[in-house]
Structure 1
Amino acid sequence: MTDAPDQTPLPLASLGWTAFFDDQLTEDDRALEPMRVATVHRARMSAQSVRGPVRLQIAPLTNTADYAVGDWVLVAPDTGLLTRRLERKTLIQRRTEGGRVPQLIAANVDTLFIVTSCNDDLNPARLERYLALANEVGTTPVIVLTKADQVADTAPYMAQVAGLQRDLPVVALNANAPEAAEHLAPWCGEGQTVALVGSSGVGKSSLLNTLAAKSAEEAQATGSIREDDAKGRHTTTSRSLHGILGGAWVIDTPGIRTLHVSDISVGLDVLFAEIAELAPGCRFRDCTHAHEPGCAVQAAVAAGTLDPARLERWRKLLDENRSNTPVATGPRGNKTMKAFGKHR
């Protein structure tokens, strides 16, 4: 086990350790050391211990894809051997086209910073996908609008996203300015964990460099959005855990160009709360809110109290979620899960 140079050990709580994880320990586990997974690669993993970064030893045939950055693991202190993973409080994952199992993005995240920028990359429909994902796993979502210094007025951009979900925090900032840390301080207290998600080129790496006060030698590589199509370039290629100002931890993630939705029925109800609350007033319990008589949702559209575009986006995500969510098929006692395939 390779530790950083000797330093005063941190309290476990400063790494995000809570009673939720402590309650999982057995008497035998007390001889092991809790650590937090910091990086996951195909054949190696590293962790953050109370003394600093550690390169973990993993047993033969270990599938590192079963571990997520942010996981709590128990490690043999003399050998650095990863012994077992503790149950997660939250897990952010996504299904990929043709994938048999979900791809793990980050674990034990308190707040999800959904990063977009004040330019043509801002796409409310895409942001709704991230919001539904955050809602489903119980992580607090915050919309972070970067490149605020490059527009004359951020108000139009903030107005586009403020109504996407009730009580949704929206913060506009310059990711390269020191003040960015102050804007995000309410979610970055000691022991808190935040994850950065969003498309490539929107400023996630720049924001991480600012929050962590990284030197030029330590800084994550950054890229810009192309002027011709407002698309970003990938600069972060793997997920990683970083300590930041205020004592919090940030999980940086590669840019996600396409985010399929699946297994997020609760998350959609939170995202589209105004539709979920109207639905019980429909005449038919299985109303699709499309053409049925006595539909309370369509009545709200007709009355001008519900945006029809909002209803259409709800319907699209609902259909995609139903299509992409694996279901048990086959005879009783011998059911199998129908794999995620191409969505309609």
Structure 2
Amino acid sequence: MTPAFQMPSAALASLGWSPFFAEQIEPADAGLVPVRIAVVHRSRLMAETGSGAQIRLGLQGGGTMDFAVGDWVLMDPETRMTVRRLDRRTVLRRRTESAHIPQLIAANVDTLFIVTSCNEDFNLARLERYLALANEAGANPVAVLTKIDQVADAETYRAEVAALQRGLAVVLLNAKAPDAALALAPWCGPGQTVALVGSSGVGKSTLLNTLADKAPDQAQPTGGIREHDAKGRHTTTARSLHAIAGGGWVIDTPGMRTLHVSDVAAGLDVLFAEITELAPACRFRDCTHAHEPGCAVQAAVAAGTLSAERLERWRKLDAENRANTPVQTGPRGNKSAPQRSKRR
């Protein structure tokens, strides 16, 4: 493999290596080799080297908590020990009720495929949560609506989803159809990394098998849905990196029934841009857009240019984000909310 301090090989470039990571290499890293995390287990890491085979990495103390699938790390080629993790270009995290710190989902993702099916699983409020997550991470969100063969008019679903965020790409497909990979090809070129997120049973594993063109004995297991409520069964139990046929990489993730928002203020601003842009015209700087006089947002609702349901969903997510986002403690114990991150 090419030493880390030299120009990356074509094989590393195909893995997603870019100038962003190359610029982090220092003279002290001479002799180290960049590899990309492919699988994270509780006690071990597996990595892609660009040679077509995965290797097991050794850990210098601690566990795998600080690593995510998609991370780039520098490895000692003699011992295969991880020396240090390179800074992430994008990172997807989610908050869980039982954990004190956010859970890492994936790193260095270019495009996030938010997968939902055209049945009882379809939920606009849930899709907004995923969009806020993608926006905050700096990944490009694409809504992928599956099981279009099971509905009479899939275009109505497309219109509802496209209205959630300006410029949002929406793709309709049957994950089992051969042309599914072609529909997603614009985001799956060589060196590009995509990730699949969504509830269980919406077709993520089926879509991964289609994208990766896996042989039957190597395919991810897939599961159907319960007919009475369209809830899926968990078939993916760990996050993993897979090569896409013809170029690119895809990260599969376990299904998420619930997604709590935290630290996504900038992501919400992008998602609800029509509200964000109206807010400065409100009479009061700290307007909650609920009952204050001179509220430009409420005026838009009254005029019919802003949906009352949309405003209510923003209010719920904004309140949840404020409640879940840790408060930083400043000098003399003064508390201050963390600064909103900028859109990447």
TM-score computed with the length of structure 2 as normaliser:
0.92
> For residue 249 of structure 2, what is the aligned residue in structure 1?
249
* Equivalence map 1:143-154=2 (5 Å): 143-154=143-154
When residues 329 and 98 of structure 1 are mapped into structure 2, their CA distance, relative to the original with a 3 A threshold, is: farther
Task: Give 3-state SS (helix, strand or coil) of 1:207's partner.
Answer: helix
Please tell me whether residue 266 in structure 1 is matched to residue 271 in structure 2.
no
1:94 CA displacement? 0.9
TM-score computed with the length of structure 1 as normaliser:
0.92
CA distance in 1, matches of 2:329, 2:19: 39
Please tell me whether residue 73 in structure 1 is matched to residue 47 in structure 2.
no
1:249 CA displacement? 0.3
1:331 CA displacement? 6.0
* Equivalence map 1:196-211=2 (5 Å): 196-211=196-211
When residues 184 and 95 of structure 1 are mapped into structure 2, their CA distance, relative to the original with a 3 A threshold, is: same
CA distance in 2, matches of 1:335, 1:296: 30
1:60 CA displacement? 5.2
1:334 CA displacement? 9.6
CA distance in 1, matches of 2:160, 2:136: 23
1:337 CA displacement? 10
Task: Give 3-state SS (helix, strand or coil) of 1:38's partner.
Answer: strand
When residues 212 and 304 of structure 1 are mapped into structure 2, their CA distance, relative to the original with a 3 A threshold, is: same
> For residue 191 of structure 1, what is the aligned residue in structure 2?
191
1:83 CA displacement? 1.3
> For residue 40 of structure 2, what is the aligned residue in structure 1?
40
Task: Give 3-state SS (helix, strand or coil) of 1:318's partner.
Answer: helix
1:303 CA displacement? 0.5
Task: Give 3-state SS (helix, strand or coil) of 1:217's partner.
Answer: coil
CA distance in 2, matches of 1:82, 1:337: 35
> For residue 139 of structure 2, what is the aligned residue in structure 1?
139
> For residue 174 of structure 1, what is the aligned residue in structure 2?
174
> For residue 4 of structure 2, what is the aligned residue in structure 1?
none
Higher mean C-alpha deviation, range 211-220 or range 157-166: 157-166
CA distance in 2, matches of 1:211, 1:59: 32
Contact 1:279 1:296 in 2 (8 A): yes
CA distance in 2, matches of 1:61, 1:258: 33
Structure 1: segments with no counterpart, 5+ residues: 1-8, 339-344
CA distance in 2, matches of 1:56, 1:102: 26
> For residue 18 of structure 2, what is the aligned residue in structure 1?
18
CA distance in 2, matches of 1:244, 1:54: 15
What percent identity do the matched residue pairs reach? 68
One-letter identity of the residue aligned with 2:172: A
* Superimposed CA distance per residue, residues 30-51 of structure 1 (whole angstroms, 9 cap, x where no aligned partner): 3111110000001111000021
Task: Give 3-state SS (helix, strand or coil) of 1:292's partner.
Answer: coil
* Equivalence map 1:159-170=2 (5 Å): 159-170=159-170
* Superimposed CA distance per residue, residues 60-82 of structure 1 (whole angstroms, 9 cap, x where no aligned partner): 53220110000001111122111
CA distance in 2, matches of 1:71, 1:231: 32
Please tell me whether residue 317 in structure 1 is matched to residue 317 in structure 2.
yes
Please tell me whether residue 104 in structure 1 is matched to residue 101 in structure 2.
no
1:256 CA displacement? 0.6
CA distance in 1, matches of 2:195, 2:145: 15
Contact 1:200 1:254 in 2 (8 A): yes
CA distance in 2, matches of 1:313, 1:260: 14
What count of residue pairs does the alignment treat as equivalent?
Answer: 330
1:333 CA displacement? 6.8
Task: Give 3-state SS (helix, strand or coil) of 2:312's partner.
Answer: helix
CA distance in 2, matches of 1:312, 1:336: 26
CA distance in 2, matches of 1:116, 1:187: 18
CA distance in 2, matches of 1:194, 1:103: 19
1:28 CA displacement? 2.6
CA distance in 2, matches of 1:334, 1:297: 31
Please tell me whether residue 227 in structure 1 is matched to residue 250 in structure 2.
no
Contact 1:194 1:251 in 2 (8 A): yes
* Superimposed CA distance per residue, residues 182-224 of structure 1 (whole angstroms, 9 cap, x where no aligned partner): 1001100100000000000000000000000001001000011
1:152 CA displacement? 2.1
Contact 1:236 1:254 in 2 (8 A): yes
